[in-house]
Amino acid sequence: MRLARPEDAALLLQLFAELAEYEQLSDLMRADERKLSEALFGQHPLADALIAERDGQPAGYALYFTTFSSFLASPGIWLEDLFVRPAHRRFGVGRTLLSAVAAHTRARGGERLEWAALDWNELALGFYRGLGARTMGEWVTHRLDGEALERLAAEHGERASEPRG
C-alpha cells in the first residue's frame, strides 16, 4: 500500500468509476483528471488517497480528508471512499486500507474516523461491524447540491450587498 502520486490520477478515476458502478451511481460521476490532480496534488491538497496493490495489481483505494470536532477540539478523518476490486476481496485489502487511514488519523492527533455506507450494502456494513464500528443511527446525513446549493449561496451574495444601517 502506498500514498497516491500525481501519476495515479487516471488510475484513481478508473477506480472511482468502478465504485460508482458498484454503488449504482455512475450517473453522478463527473470527476476528471485535471480536477482530481488539482484536488489531491495541487498547491492546497484537499484530500489524501491510498492505493492498495496485490500481486502487483491495483486492488483498491481509500480517499479521505481532515475534519474537525468542535466538541473535542481535535481533528478527525472523514473516509470518503473505501473500495476493493471484487477479485481482491477477502484477502485483507480493505482492512489494510482502513487500518492505514486509522493510523493516519491518530498520527494527526485525531480522535474520530467516520464514514457513511449505503444502507443496502450488507457486504460493507458487515465488514465495518466486524471491525467494531458503530452505526450512528441518531444522525441523519444531509446534502445541498446543484440548484439548491446555488440558490442558498446566492442568498449570501444578496445579503452581503444589502445596505447596513
Closest by alpha carbon to 55, among 88, 80, 30?
Answer: 88
The string of pLDDT tens digits covering residues 81-127 is: 999 999 999 999 999 999 999 999 999 999 999 999 999 999 999 99
CATH code of the domain containing 41? 3.40.630.30
Residue 64 lies in a domain: yes
Q: What is the pLDDT of residue 134?
A: 93
Q: What is the pLDDT of residue 106?
A: 97
Provide the annotated active-site residues.
128
**Domain tally, the chain:** 1
Q: What is the pLDDT of residue 165?
A: 54
C-alpha cell at 84: 476493493
Q: Is the dihedral of CA 43, 44, 46, 49 positive or negative?
A: positive
Q: What is the pLDDT of residue 162?
A: 59
CB 51 within 8 A of CB 58: yes
Residue 165 lies in a domain: no
The string of pLDDT tens digits covering residues 18-51 is: 999 999 999 999 999 999 999 999 999 999 999 9
Q: Could you list the residue range(s) of the whole structural domain that residue 117 is in?
A: 2-160
pLDDT > 70? residue 161: no
CA 144-21-16 angle, 5° bins = 70
Q: Cell 498547491 maps to which residue?
A: 43
Residue 11 lies in a domain: yes
